[in-house]
Amino acid sequence: MLFPRGDGDGWARCAAGHRHWGLFGAAGLLVRSGGAVLLQHRAEWSHHGGTWGILGGARHRAESAAAAAAREAAEEAGLDPADYTVTGESVDDHGGWSYTTVLAHAVERVTLTALTAETLAVAWVPVDEVTALPLHPGFAATWPALRSR
């Protein structure tokens, strides 16, 4: 399946001077099911390649974080919004750019397949084993706070 290039695709610079993907910010979906969370292993050639993080990406203009996270999770792993319930949001605001983690709960750990070239794998990772993985720096920074939620 082909998806149109989003109007939010592009690099932005936040007030802290970092370079971030997503002209209108970015959003990701942190799905928890029992004692595991759904993570994406990012392709080596991608930004912060080889690391693990959550499914997500650039928001489109005027697109809510929840809609963007759901769209990216469907594109990248075929995750059906019917398979999870959104329970909250956590915003990491860098000033001029923000990353919103959309928190969700899934009753079942549905089997998913990596659908995009930038996704090596998607897996349900036990919460206790997350920090043993090489994590995407953005996800690594927010994980301790997210874990407690």
Query: 53-62: string of b/e by CB count within 10 Å (b at 16+)?
Result: bbbbbbbbee
The residue written with tokens 């292993």 in the block is 41
Provide the 3-class DSSP secondary structure of residue 144: helix
Distance from C-alpha of 33 to C-alpha of 77, rounded to nearest angstrom? 16
> What is the nearest approach in angstroms of Zn ion to the Cβ of residue 97?
6
Q: Does 19 bind Zn ion (CB under 5 A)?
A: no
| # binding residues, Zn ion (CB under 5 A) | 4
Residues 94-113 that bind Zn ion (CB under 5 A): 94
Distance from C-alpha of 90 to C-alpha of 75, rounded to nearest angstrom? 22
Q: Which stretch binds Zn ion (CB under 5 A): 16-24, 36-44, 65-73, 135-143?
A: 16-24
Q: Which stretch binds Zn ion (CB under 5 A): 3-11, 47-55, 86-94, 108-116?
A: 86-94
SS3 content of the chain, % helix, strand, coil (to 5): 20, 35, 40
> What is the nearest approach in angstroms of Zn ion to the Cβ of residue 22?
11
The correct pick among 18, 44, 49, 137 for binding Zn ion (CB under 5 A) is 18
Q: Which residues bind Zn ion (CB under 5 A)?
A: 14, 16, 18, 94
